[in-house]
Structure 1
Amino acid sequence: EEKILYNMPFFIFNNKRIGIAAYKAHVSLQISDDLSSEVVKLARKLGFETGQKRLNIGLDQQVPEELVLKILQMIEA
């Protein structure tokens, strides 16, 4: 299901939220649950910034497909 929450587009899947937001220097992929420590470690190893519930992808960085897939799999669980 598609929704607008906090003035940003979100998708609702399994009662969890996934959002995408664009900023001046990056794009954020946000989820309603905390990122796992495995995902955070991998993201930082690959040079991406993270927050408790988000992955920031710099506009000069390639989309880390494997990492995004891991995040989406967290939503399915």
Structure 2
Amino acid sequence: MDIRENDKTLAEHITCVHQHGCHPNREKKDLISLETLREYISLCKTYTPTVDPALRERIVEAYVEMRRDARYSSDPTFVSLRMT
């Protein structure tokens, strides 16, 4: 699929989701039940993700590099840090 066709497909998907509230090829009845979603969210709340210190350092280095590159770029997009 070429870039223009991919862009068209993406735009059609986005407009359909905003207009109808669901994936264009999926009817609302195919969505998971509210109870299943609640159970999944409850299970997710019991999980405490961790980041290995070496990976954390790589993420920090990549972020610093991105910010450095952004300072010298003509692209006005701002990259902000969101860590908790």
TM-score range, shorter chain: under 0.3
Q: TM-score, normalised by structure 1?
A: 0.24
Q: TM-score, normalised by structure 2?
A: 0.23
- The structure in which a higher percent of residues are strand is 1
